[in-house]
Structure formats: structure tokens, C-alpha cells
Amino acid sequence: MNRLNLALGLALACTAAGTQAAEPCRIALDQPELDYGVLQLPTGSRLDSFQQAHALPERTVRVRISCPVPGPLAVDLTGASAGGQARFAEAGHLRLQLTQATVDGAVVDLANVNQGPTGQRELEVQPGQRIVPVNAGQPVLGSEWAMTLLVTPSLPLGELRRADETQLQGSLALQLAE
């Protein structure tokens, strides 16, 4: 039986950079690491379909950013990427989506600053992007920013074919932007 141990080491690093307050802002994650445990090749898989992508179950990470004083809020998403997506293991990728954002308890949209100020309630993100909370196209100031990160790993079926137990990992970091 082919088995694979997958520890999606989503080391969503909690890094506060460039804050001007006496006490820096903090990032907290309810699940800083996602572990999918031991996986098996799906039943009914054929040898000619090993390049076909196989999506693993979606996982949810709640992100909370707390600052001692209200101010501009922005996070940078960093990590390995390939083909415009977050890289996972050798040939897989991570689908990343931010949803359910609030600033100081009020619902806000999210915007990728590289794509302009137009916000969305659900925003697909990838490494190399800066994300800001917006309302009516304007950045929102605040001290408490909460959002949900949805993570869906996908990898070729061939990765699950190995006879040994192999640990595959993906790593991301959320960093407070200056």
C-alpha cells in the first residue's frame, strides 16, 4: 500500500515589521501548521493519470492582527511560488483564499494593492502580494483585523505513488507591511 505523510508546514510566520508604535502589532493564527497526516493514492486511480492534479480537503486558518493603536493595515504574503501559485512540495500548489474580513468588528473587503483599490469579500491570493482591508475602494484604518485563510493543497497523483513515507511541505509567511 502506497502511503505518504504530508505535513503542510504552513509556517505562517507571525512577523511584525516596521511598526512605529511603542508596542508592535501582533499576528495570531488559530492553526499555524496544517497536517494532513498519512495519505493514500485514491481508489480507482489509473497509471495513465498520474499527472492529474489531486486536491486535498480545504482547511481553514483564522488570522487575527492586533495593534495597540489604530492605523493603516497591510500584510505581505511570502513563500515559494511557481506558475503564479503558491508552491507545495515538488510539483503541487496551494490555492489560497482570504474571506470573512473585519476591521474593528466592521465587515470590510480585501484588495491586492498590485491590482488596485477595488475590494472583494473573497480574494484569491498568492505569494508576492500585499493585501489591505478596504471599504468603498479606500484603505481602512484600525487596530483589530481578522480574516479567514482557506488553504487547498493540490498535487499530481504521481506524488502519492511513492512506496515510502515521504513528507511533503509547503511554507507561507504573513508579514505586516510597512
Q: Does residue 21 form part of some domain?
A: no
Q: Does residue 111 form part of some domain?
A: yes
C-alpha angle 31/34/36, rounded to 5°?
145
Mean pLDDT to the nearest integer, 54-82 = 90
Q: Does residue 3 form part of some domain?
A: no
pTM higher than the cut 0.85:
no
Q: Does residue 127 form part of some domain?
A: yes
Q: Does residue 38 form part of some domain?
A: no
pLDDT digits over 4-16, tens only?
333 333 344 444 4
Tell me what pLDDT residue 3 has. Answer: 34
Q: Does residue 8 form part of some domain?
A: no
Q: Does residue 5 form part of some domain?
A: no
Tell me what pLDDT residue 11 has. Answer: 40
- Cα 47 from Cα 131, distance rounded (Å): 41
* Domain that includes residue 65, residue range: 26-33+52-149+163-176
Task: Name the nearest CA neighbour of 152 among 86, 105, 100, 63.
Answer: 86
Mean pLDDT to the nearest integer, 80-107 = 88
Q: Does residue 7 form part of some domain?
A: no
Tell me what pLDDT residue 88 has. Answer: 79
Task: Name the nearest CA neighbour of 2 among 51, 37, 38.
Answer: 38
Tell me what pLDDT residue 13 has. Answer: 42
Tell me what pLDDT residue 15 has. Answer: 41
Residues 6+ apart with CB under 8 A from 55: 95, 152, 153, 154
Tell me what pLDDT residue 44 has. Answer: 63
Count of the separate structural domains present in the chain: 1
- Residue 103, pLDDT > 70, answer yes
